[in-house]
Amino acid sequence: MPKKTTDETPGPVILWFRRDLRLDDNPALHAAAGTGRPVLPLLILDPEEEIGGASRWWLHGSLEALSDNLARLGPPLVLRRGAPSDILPALVEEVGAEAVFWNRRYEPRAVERDKVLKSALTEKGVEVKSFAASLLAEPWEVETGSGGPYKVFTPFWRALSQFSFDAPLAAPEKLARVKDIATDRLKDWNLLPSKPDWTSGLRAIWEPGEEGARKRLVAFVDGAMTDYGDARDIPGTEGTSRLSPHLHWGDISPRRIWHVVRGSEGGAGRAGDAFLRELAWRDFACHLLYHWPEIVTENWKRQFDAFPWVKNDAAFEAWTAGRTGYPIVDAGMRQLWQTGWMHNRVRMIAASFLIKHLMVDWRRGAEWFEDTLVDADLAVNRASWQWVAGSGADAAPYFRIFNPVLQGEKFDADGDYVRAFVPELAKLDAKYIHKPWEAPVKLLADAGVELGETYPEPIVDHGTARNRALAAYRDMKGDS
């Protein structure tokens, strides 16, 4: 049993922050405050947990914001680096904590680790409580008629949309604090890149943290949401909420979003439905990951184990650098590099290009996204890559191969998106902006484009690549 600080003072509650970097609608924090005991807010940086470069930048910003907000309530945020299985028991001892509270995570490693930690702490007489904070519904709460998990999104959404979600919890107004606890300094964690500092594009558009999330939500609900159903597919406009990194890090809760949307003008109708349905895809991805943790690395459809992926390093590098010669793909990959985010429509096009035109294994693309996205999320990213590959649950069929030219012409008809991220094509006529190789020589010269010099020729021919991918798919299935 951990020692109490004094006979009169009750032992504190350690509140372990993880992917819930907020005070608003934070059930573990709310419960800790409700005990009336001193609260020790803790964040552990586990070196075993891989966090990509862009996400580390986000985490730094979110932690700064959380620290400032907590300081206003009383207790400072304590930062420690190491394995949670070492740090938590040691801290319990150090401060004589009687309880440890956290909000649940669903990644296979985190689930396993939390189970072990919970029983180790409980054995020592520490009260451990976990709460639901990151999803609309827990992965085991949404069940089919026969009591199992869902494999298909539409019935999952039908079931989820019947739930009634409790009102979000207000942030506590004050917390009693534990005195003089040593903490790491955030800047010593080196979450920000320095040599070189490549984050100017990220800083220009993002404000990590709770306040930034709230502003984005309000701006979206008052603005783009009305037209979300149509504009969400147009990458050249700000037609979506851009809440994904805030949701990933827990700067805001999905339940808060649900209630703000439903309570807004138009939010109870079609505009709100269309948006909340997308939000539910996030829950669905987590539902799949929780019930089938192997989807992180294994094909959901095991027949894809026989797919003849190609290890094409040069083509992979051209894809990462946004130099494939297909403007919509290149614009997306450069948006990702510059801003840490890519529009959903273009994520699908760029992923499809890597998997089908270049026949590179979807896992390699997923890893690149995890290193470069500010919203990199194991569940959503892996489920989405499998969805595009055709190997996933409820996936797009492999034989549906996006034509990057037609996709560009359909969703970026005036070429605004390409112009924004591929400046060397900015002066090209909209008619050719998605297929510069078909433009008359004079038009190219007038626009300052020299193919193969200022902008690459396509690294593969669409028709040839399509036939190659389809043949590989037929071979895999054993049809000849």
- 388 forms part of the interface with ligand FAD (CB under 6 A): yes
Which of 81/400 has CB closer to ligand FAD?
400
Smallest distance, Å, CB 255 to ligand FAD?
13
For ligand FAD, the closer of residues 192 and 231 by Cβ is 231
* Residue 241, amino acid: S
With contacts defined by CB under 6 A, name the span among 29-37, 110-118, 281-289, 331-339 that binds ligand FAD. Answer: 281-289
Site for ligand FAD in 331-350 (CB under 6 A): 344, 347-348
User: In the beta sheet, which residues pair with residue 131?
Assistant: 103
Residue 321's identity, in one-letter code, is A
Q: Which residues pair with 17 in a beta bridge?
A: 43
Q: Tell which one of 44, 279, 389, 465 touches ligand FAD (CB under 6 A).
A: 279
Please report, as residue ranges, which positions from 212 to 251 form the binding site for ligand FAD (by CB under 6 A). Answer: 232, 240-244, 247-248
Contacts 24+ apart (CB under 8 A), 412-417: 412/234, 412/235, 412/236, 412/328, 412/331, 414/236, 415/327, 416/236, 416/237, 417/235, 417/236, 417/328, 417/331, 417/343, 417/346
Which part of the chain contacts ligand FAD (CB under 6 A), choosing from 33-41, 329-337, 379-387, 390-398? 379-387
Tell whether residue 282 is a contact of ligand FAD (CB under 6 A). Answer: yes
CB of 374 to ligand FAD, least distance (A): 9
Per rule CB under 6 A, is residue 380 in the interface with ligand FAD? Answer: yes
Q: How many chain residues are in contact with ligand FAD, going by CB under 6 A?
A: 27
Does 377 bind ligand FAD (CB under 6 A)? Our answer is yes
Nearest to ligand FAD of 77, 243 (CB atom): 243
Q: CB–CB of 42/80 below 8 Å?
A: yes
Distances (CA, A) of 344 to 184, 242, 364, 383: 37, 10, 19, 14
Shortest Cβ 397–ligand FAD spacing (Å): 15
Measure the N-to-C terminal CA separation of the chain; round to a whole number of Å. Answer: 68
* Residues 284-323, interacting with ligand FAD (CB under 6 A): 285
Are 376 and 342 a contacting pair, CB within 8 Å? Answer: no
| Candidates 5-13, 258-266, 276-284, 330-338; binding stretch for ligand FAD (CB under 6 A) | 276-284
CA trace torsion 242, 246, 249, 253 (10° rounding)? -120
Residue 74 vs 201, nearer CB to ligand FAD: 201
Decide whether 36 or 223 has the Cβ nearer to ligand FAD.
223
Contact by Cβ (8 Å): 46, 82: yes
* Pairing mode of beta strands 78-81, 39-45: parallel
The token pair at 212 is 């930034």
Point out the residues that are catalytic: 278, 281, 309, 344, 362, 385
Q: Which helix (H) or strand (E) holds 63?
A: helix 53-73
By C-alpha distance, which of 356, 432, 430, 431 is closest to 395? 356
199 binds ligand FAD (CB under 6 A): no
Q: Which is nearer to ligand FAD, 184 or 278 (CB)?
A: 278
Q: Which is nearer to ligand FAD, 70 or 376 (CB)?
A: 376
Q: Tell me the closest approach of the beta carbon of residue 131 to ligand FAD, in angstroms.
A: 20
> Which residues, including other chains, have CB under 8 Å from residue 9's CB and lie 6 or more apart?
38
Which of 88, 351, 422, 428 contacts ligand FAD by CB under 6 A? 351
Q: CB under 6 A: which stretch of 100-108, 118-126, 279-287, 467-475 binds ligand FAD?
A: 279-287
Residue 3 φ/ψ, nearest 5 degrees: -75, 145
**278 touching ligand FAD, by CB under 6 A:** yes
**What letters, b where the CB count within 10 A reaches 16 and e where it falls short, cover 125-152?**
ebebebbbbbbbbebeebeeeeeebbbe
Position 273, amino acid: D
Interhelix angle 362-372/313-321, nearest 10 degrees: 30
The residue among 341 and 455 lying less far from ligand FAD, judged by its C-beta, is 341
With CB under 6 A as the contact rule, which of the stretches 9-17, 280-288, 316-324, 421-429 interacts with ligand FAD? 280-288
Measured from the CB of residue 248, what is the shortest distance to ligand FAD in angstroms? 6
| Residues near ligand FAD, by CB under 6 A | 232, 240-244, 247-248, 278-279, 281-282, 285, 344, 347-348, 351, 369, 373, 375-377, 380-381, 384-385, 388
